[in-house]
Amino acid sequence: MNYQNIIFEKEGAVASIILDKAPRLNSLSREMIEEIIDALSRLEEARVLLLAANGRAFCCGADLSEGSTMEDWSGFDAGAGLESHLNPLVDAIVSLKIPVVCAVNGAAAGAGASVALACDIVIAARSAYFLQAFVGIGLIPDAGANWTLPRLAGKARALGMMLLGDRIEAEQAERWGLIWKCVEDEQLMTVATDYACRLGAGPTQTYGLIRRAARLGLELGWAETLAMERECQRSASRTKDFQEGVSAFLEKRPARFNGR
């Protein structure tokens, strides 16, 4: 696929997807979503994904310019758009077997916030903010927001964000546990890239198991969680990276993981 809305690169173990429709604040058009999903299917040999954006905003949500007049929106079925594009996008991110680092600059609004918060390690510039903008046009939050927000911030804060549509600054998002870290604007890509490189040198299969276990742990009961951990640990202990980790520990040297 010839990408027109994103930049897709692979350097060593790190794959990066950069949203590159700055004049439209990286709004999620059908074409951009299709390009991201295509790139996500081409992560062979990558051990970590870095998601970021060019311009003054990370992503301002769905591209409403695709319907420029009220006649275009007459009879509009928002559910169909979710089914065909946005849901497959966030599901593809969550279903990856490698960790995902997201660098948020400027606004992460509407579905843009949903995409960012579906990632594993979210780093935000101090000037960044998160906005559940849906209520302003009479829609509910989507693209997984109703699953993600209450689990990250708690029900009260999630409802406040969704009902009031107030912007949540990056520092507040960090305090609430919505994101991993808030950094100075000029440090954003350096910090995010450092995390990506660190994860790219780690035990990749184990990272995939950790991602899966962390999500299942939110749904399962105590006994089921213990059983799930047992099976995931069994899988992790069969990897070559586990053998390398133990050898490195016994030999008092840094581990050299190869992702297998």
Summarised one tens digit per residue, pLDDT across range 112-170 is: 999 999 999 999 999 999 999 899 889 999 999 999 999 999 999 999 999 999 999 99
pLDDT in tens, 188-224: 999 999 999 999 999 999 999 999 999 999 999 999 9
The per-residue pLDDT of the chain, averaged, comes to 93
Coil/strand/helix, residue 58 = coil
User: Taking CA 148 as the corner, what is the angle to CA 162 and CA 129, rounded to the nearest 5 degrees?
Assistant: 55
Length of the chain: 260
pLDDT at 108 over 60: yes
Task: Please say whether the beta carbons of 76 and 67 come within 8 A.
Answer: yes
Nearest to 125 by CA among 64, 192, 72, 207: 192
Per-residue pLDDT at 78: 77
Give the integer Cα–Cα distance in Å for 86 and 115: 9
Distances (CA, A) of 63 to 24, 26, 44, 121, 224: 8, 8, 30, 25, 41
Digit-coded pLDDT (tens) for 44-99:
999 999 999 999 999 999 887 755 544 555 556 778 888 889 999 999 999 999 99
Give this prediction's pTM: 0.91
Tell me the average pLDDT across 235-258.
95
